[in-house]
Amino acid sequence: MAEPLDLLAIGEVMAEIRQDADVGFQVGFAGDTYNTAVYCARARGRAGSVAYFSRVGTDPLSEQFMKQAEAEDLDTRYITSIEERPIGIYAVATDATGERSFSYWRDSSAARTLFAEADENLPVARITYLSGITLAIMEPSARRRLMDKLAKLSSTGETQVAFDSNYRPKLWENADVARDVMDEMWALTDIALPSVDDEMALFGDSSEGDVVKRFASRAWKACAIKRGVQGPISPTLPQRDTPRFTPAPKVVDTTAAGDSFNAGYLAAFLDGETEQACMLAGHALAKLVVASPGAIIAR
């Protein structure tokens, strides 16, 4: 039997169009779960131990993406190319403080057909990672199919499910559907990686404390709630045991800050590190990423 993957990330990757003041428009590739896969693979340093599960087209951008994914030492066996649909595209603009705004062309992307077929199976992995964006872009029946598979794999101990709600209202049918799906997803999750802002926006928590209290009411194998520059907090740790997090000395672009945190955290978790060490690893990687432009920075 083949050795399990360290991490299987499921989701959508897109072509990223970014304007550079010196060279004009540049094209890269990014997407929340893909960003996490790349940074986790770099942190693990084991070629092929992290895989990406997605669908792309047969267009030139899709072909270029496959080359990039392979160059990042990802296992690309679970990325399917289909002729009928292209890869998604987005453009990003960044202001003087590093905050960004996005424009998307993804309605007909190939990744939206994930789990459309009943016989689509997942490879064995120590951790299976996905986000609310992964679920939001799927058809409801495909979403149901994936969540049922994850629930079974987690309950039998075949994988540990890691999840980041990463709530994007425009991708969902409506807020009620998003809330129901996310709540069910949290119930089957082993490793919780939410953000305070997303959780407050979706579940109506009135404060950070309410978010922490809600997550403290459930049992997790690991849980880190992201709070931006303040650093994460874990309901599994007493306040006295929570590390101190220093802010990034330089912020150029906050794209993929949360995605890279998740990557550093999961890489440390795979190494058997403590909750404190996992949070520190995630925060350190995020600080490095926000100091450079783009979702995927140079090695």
| Catalytic machinery residues | 259
Does an H or E element contain 219, and which?
none
Spatial CB neighbours of 1, under 8 Å, sequence gap ≥ 6: none
162 beta partners: 129, 191
Angle at 68 between CA 66 and CA 73, to 5 degrees: 95
Residue 94 C-beta-side C-alpha neighbours within 13 Å = 20
CA distances from 291 to 36, 225, 233, 257 (A): 17, 22, 22, 10
Spatial CB neighbours of 36, under 8 Å, sequence gap ≥ 6: 9, 129, 259, 260, 262, 263, 266
Write down the residue that tokens 């089957």 correspond to: 188
Residue of 176, 243, 182, 240 lying closest to 214 (CA atoms): 182
